[in-house]
């Protein structure tokens, strides 16, 4: 039994990493999936791989641009109908000491990670209210639950995502719409591989040593796998999770408790 058959799911940042893994889990359960991301090519590649499971659609979008978001979500709704499941996964991380974090970097982190989540949610909420059912899952980060040095803007944005999640969950608690955040620790994705490259460049450490610097935050001593994050997202969307709302669920091997 495919428990999400007939539902329309949108996954932003769906072309690779955590987003691609989430798209696969939703497709396996029968949802029609729209992948959104800044670059169309990886979206189409992922969609082609998943069409054996379900109907797929792709839309290029800049999640920080209101006009781009409106156009992408309108096109998705024309293809598959109102959005039932929204996974706000698109994100970006840049590091700098706070004293070197200029206003442009600060604003970029807020625009992509926080305003992008706001815009995506605004685009689908009226439809969810009209149909009386919805699942919104925001992929935040352990950086929304604690602090890390040299990523103050990113931490601020992800803390904002969790705050918005909690507030909106209360607004919608009697509307059959749940709103949750999933908070991965350091995960084996392009963002983390870029961080490893930066560590190597600045410290001269080997790749294994650089990865170890990040993995040591996880009490299990490893990077999280994208499919582990995807499994948590799927659970929140399946029947039986109706009472789970307003939560920030850490997927981090015990880093945040």
**pLDDT score recorded for residue 203:** 82
**pLDDT score recorded for residue 198:** 78
**pLDDT score recorded for residue 191:** 77
Count the alpha carbons within 13 Å of 145 in the hemisphere toward its beta carbon.
19
Please list the pLDDT of the chain residue by residue as tens digits (257 residues). Answer: 899 999 999 999 999 999 999 999 999 999 999 999 999 999 999 999 999 999 999 999 999 999 999 999 999 999 999 999 999 999 999 989 999 999 999 999 999 999 999 999 999 999 999 999 999 999 999 999 999 999 999 999 999 999 999 999 999 999 999 999 999 999 988 777 777 787 788 788 888 887 888 889 999 999 999 999 999 999 999 999 999 999 999 999 999 99
**Domains of the chain, CATH where assigned:** 8-185+225-250 (3.40.50.720), 186-223 (no CATH)
Which of 118, 148, 150, 154 is catalytic? The answer is 154
**pLDDT score recorded for residue 245:** 98
249 membership: H or E segment, kind and range: strand 248-251
For the chain, how far is it from start to end, CA to CA, in angstroms? Answer: 34
- State the burial class of residue 203 (Cβ atoms within 10 Å of its Cβ: 0-12, 13-18, 19+): exposed
Any catalytic annotation for residue 148? no
Antiparallel, parallel or unpaired: β 56-60 and 32-37: parallel
**pLDDT score recorded for residue 253:** 98
Answer whether 37's CB lies under 8 Å from 12's CB: yes
* Residue in the block written with tokens 């729209």: 34
**pLDDT score recorded for residue 169:** 99
pTM to 2 decimal places: 0.94
**pLDDT score recorded for residue 212:** 85
């Amino acid at each position: 039994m495919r428990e999400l058959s007939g539902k329309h799911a949108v996954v932003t940042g769906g072309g690779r990493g955590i987003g691609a893994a989430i798209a696969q889990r939703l497709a396996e359960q029968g949802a029609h999936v729209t992948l959104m991301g800044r670059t169309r090519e990886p979206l189409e590649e992922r969609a082609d791989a998943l069409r054996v499971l379900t109907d797929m659609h792709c839309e290029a979008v800049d999640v920080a641009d209101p006009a781009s978001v409106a156009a992408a979500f309108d096109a998705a709704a024309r293809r598959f109908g109102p959005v039932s499941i929204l996974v706000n996964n698109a994100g970006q991380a840049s590091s700098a000491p706070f004293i070197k974090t200029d206003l442009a970097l600060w604003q970029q982190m807020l625009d992509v990670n926080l305003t992008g989540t706001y815009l995506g949610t605004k685009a689908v909420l009226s439809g969810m209210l009209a149909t009386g059912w919805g699942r919104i899952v925001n992929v935040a980060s352990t950086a929304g639950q604690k602090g890390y040095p040299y990523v103050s803007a990113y931490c601020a944005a992800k803390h904002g995502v969790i705050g918005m999640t909690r507030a909106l969950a209360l607004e919608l608690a009697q509307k059959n719409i749940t709103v949750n955040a999933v908070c991965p620790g350091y995960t084996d994705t392009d963002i983390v591989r870029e961080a490893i490259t930066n560590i190597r460049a600045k410290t001269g450490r080997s790749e294994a040593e650089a990865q170890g610097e990040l993995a040591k935050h996880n009490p299990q001593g490893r990077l999280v796998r994208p499919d582990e994050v995807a499994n948590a997202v799927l659970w929140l969307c399946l029947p039986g999770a109706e009472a789970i709302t307003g939560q920030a669920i850490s997927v981090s091997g015990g880093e945040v408790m």
